[in-house]
């Protein structure tokens, strides 16, 4: 009986020693800190900053205005020049439009006069042609009144006042009238086609010639009007762009690019800034990670993608994690854009960073930057009990 008691006691002591040694010798970090990326909001223009009243540590959301910058001395010379060019282009369009409209009105009037002249001229030729044909019918019938003067027209080619007594005078008269009919028929046909004979060297009335000249000028005016409109369109596009540039240069709202915490004020209200000067620094709560340091022996057993367990201090919860960065020794430069800088002790060891996806969803620890804990990389004897209790 005593033997069994001694045996059981020895096994209990051995188990306790195994648990203690296993817990202590398991790969673990010396320290682990919840960390996050810092985002610096900079002024896009030069001007005076007007900061929104906001306490440090207050939450911010993406797109929320955190400050404003105004420049009352923005250069608008180019904008004024473009407005003047646009005004000149609009005046030119108005002038050319009036010229076109007036020219079209004059052309319409001349076209009406030409149509009136054409109709009257055709009627005149038709009347003369009808009377000529009537005279020809009388001559060819041989029934002439006694008092009828059978002398041919002056252009018939018969000389002297006694031509009426010449033999064959009637035939000559008939020939002259036929010639007149032929000439009038040609004049009528051409007049119906828009060409008028018998007006010297002009083949059209003066109104029609003037209308033709104005139509040529109207084509040039229309081309100039199209060019002026194109110029105005180009100037208007440039004017819109310059107006947008001046508006942006005159004032700008600085909005939060992340969901997080207002971390630090870098410019006082009313301070004069240059373009690119920092205004505020924000903590990006969507970039939470855990930074830690380990011994050299543990560091060389790790690889990116390895699993780990993060346990916050004063908490009984364990969070599954994944190794994402092995920074090695002297990893101070990795922390330039992170909220929590490494301690001197941290830099003496080997830097590691892990992602803890479940940490972001935890209402208590989601963005608790600066809170510490420990990270374990190997299975420990009491992990089953921790999982059971967690």
- What is the torsional sign of CA 215, 218, 223, 229? negative
**Cβ–Cβ under 8 Å, residues 162 and 151:** no
Query: Looking up tokens 């205004």, which residue turns up?
Result: 279
Higher pLDDT, 186 or 102: 102
Which pair of structure tokens corresponds to residue 318?
């364990």
pLDDT above 70 for 136:
yes
| 94-103, 244-253, 255-264: range with lowest mean pLDDT | 244-253
Q: Binning pLDDT at 50, 70 and 90, where does residue 179 land?
A: confident
In whole angstroms, what is the distance from residue 249 CA to residue 62 CA? 23
Query: Is 255's pLDDT higher than 60?
Result: yes
Looking at residue 281, what is its pLDDT?
93
Q: What is the mean pLDDT of residues 32-57?
A: 87
Contact status, residue 315 vs residue 364, Cβ threshold 8 Å: no
For the stretch 319-364, pLDDT in tens is: 999 999 998 887 788 888 899 988 888 888 899 999 998 887 787 7
Q: Are 295 and 25 in contact (CB under 8 A)?
A: no
Confidence of residue 295 (pLDDT cuts 50, 70, 90): confident
Q: CA-to-CA distance for 162 and 154, rounded, in angstroms? A: 13
143 CB neighbour count, 10 Å cutoff: 8
Count of residues in the chain: 390
Residue 16, pLDDT score: 52
Mean pLDDT of 174-191: 78
* Per-residue pLDDT, 355: 92
Higher-pLDDT residue of 97 and 191 is: 97
- Of 185-189, 198-202, 279-283, the range with the lowest mean pLDDT is 198-202
Q: Which residue has the higher pLDDT, 200 or 312?
A: 312
Question: Which stretch of 99-108, 125-134, 207-216, 329-338 has the lowest confidence by average pLDDT?
Answer: 207-216
**Residue 336: predicted pLDDT:** 87
Burial class (CB in 10 A: 0-12, 13-18, 19+), 259: middle
At 272, is the secondary structure helix, strand, or coil? Answer: strand
Top-confidence residue, 112 or 59: 59
Residue 62 — pLDDT band, cuts 50, 70, 90? very high
Instruction: Write out pLDDT tens, residues 215-238.
Output: 888 888 888 889 999 999 998 998
| Per-residue confidence (pLDDT) for residue 333, from 0 to 100 | 82
According to DSSP, the residues that pair with 312 across neighbouring strands are 373
Task: Please state, in angstroms and as integers, the Cα–Cα distance from residue 302 to each residue in 125, 247, 270, 306, 379, following that order.
Answer: 115, 54, 51, 7, 14
Residue 199 has what pLDDT?
54
The 8-class DSSP code of residue 166 comes to S
> Across residues 240-251, what is the average pLDDT?
78
Residue 21 confidence (pLDDT): 47
Share above pLDDT 70 across residues of the chain, in percent, rounded to a whole number: 78
CA-wise closest residue to 387 among 354, 298, 379: 379
Given a cut of 60, whether residue 79 has pLDDT beyond it is yes
Given a cut of 50, whether residue 112 has pLDDT beyond it is yes
The Cα-based distances of 249 to 144, 244, 266, 376 in angstroms read: 104, 9, 21, 53
pLDDT at 211 over 80: no
pLDDT at 25 over 70: no
Chain Cα centroid distance, residue 253: 21
Backbone phi and psi for residue 280, each to the nearest 5 degrees, phi listed first = -155, 160
Look over the chain and give the mean of its residue pLDDT values, rounded to a whole number.
78
Average pLDDT over every residue of 270-291: 89
φ/ψ of residue 44, rounded to 5 = -80, -10
**Residue 61 pLDDT grade (very low, low, confident, very high; cuts 50, 70, 90):** very high
d(CA 63, CA 292): 32
- What pLDDT is attached to residue 257? 93
Q: How far apart are CA 295 and CA 308, in angstroms?
A: 16
Residue 239's pLDDT is: 87
Q: Which residue has the higher pLDDT, 89 or 162?
A: 89
Regarding predicted confidence, which is higher, 107 or 34? 34
């Amino acid at each position: 009986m005593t033997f069994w008691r001694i045996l059981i006691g020895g096994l209990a002591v051995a188990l306790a020693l195994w648990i203690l040694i296993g817990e202590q010798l398991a790969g673990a970090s010396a320290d682990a800190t919840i960390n996050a990326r810092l985002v610096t909001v900079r002024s896009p223009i030069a001007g005076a900053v007007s900061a929104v009243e906001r306490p440090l540590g207050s939450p911010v959301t993406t797109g929320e205005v955190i400050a404003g910058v105004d420049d009352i001395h923005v250069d608008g010379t180019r904008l004024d020049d473009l407005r003047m060019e646009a005004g000149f282009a609009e005046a030119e369009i108005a002038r050319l439009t009036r010229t076109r409209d007036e020219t079209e009105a004059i052309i319409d009037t001349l076209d009406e006069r030409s149509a009136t002249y054409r109709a009257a001229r055709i009627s005149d030729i038709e009347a003369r042609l009808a009377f000529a044909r009537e005279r020809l019918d009388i001559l060819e019938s041989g029934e002439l009144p006694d008092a009828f003067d059978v002398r041919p027209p002056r252009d018939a080619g018969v000389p002297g006042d006694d031509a009426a007594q010449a033999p064959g005078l009637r035939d000559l008269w008939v020939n002259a009238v036929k010639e007149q009919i032929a000439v009038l028929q040609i004049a009528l046909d051409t007049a119906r086609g828009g060409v008028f004979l018998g007006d010297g060297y002009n083949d059209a009335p003066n109104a029609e010639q003037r209308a033709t000249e104005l139509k040529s000028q109207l084509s040039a005016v229309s081309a100039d009007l199209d060019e002026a409109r194109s110029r105005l369109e180009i100037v208007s596009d440039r004017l819109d762009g310059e107006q947008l540039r001046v508006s942006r240069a005159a004032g700008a709202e600085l909005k939060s690019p992340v969901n997080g915490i207002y971390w630090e004020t870098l410019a006082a209200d009313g301070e004069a800034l240059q373009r690119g000067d920092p205004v505020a620094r924000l903590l990006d709560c969507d970039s939470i990670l855990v930074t830690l340091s380990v011994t050299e022996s543990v560091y060389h057993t790790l690889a990116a993608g390895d699993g780990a367990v993060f346990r916050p201090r004063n908490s009984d919860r364990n969070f599954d994690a994944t190794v994402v960065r092995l920074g090695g020794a002297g990893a101070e430069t990795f922390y330039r854009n992170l909220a929590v800088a490494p301690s001197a002790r941290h830099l003496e060891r080997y830097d590691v960073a892990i992602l803890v996806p479940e940490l972001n969803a935890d209402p208590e620890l989601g963005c608790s930057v600066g809170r510490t804990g420990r990270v374990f990389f190997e299975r420990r004897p009491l992990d089953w009990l921790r999982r059971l209790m967690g």
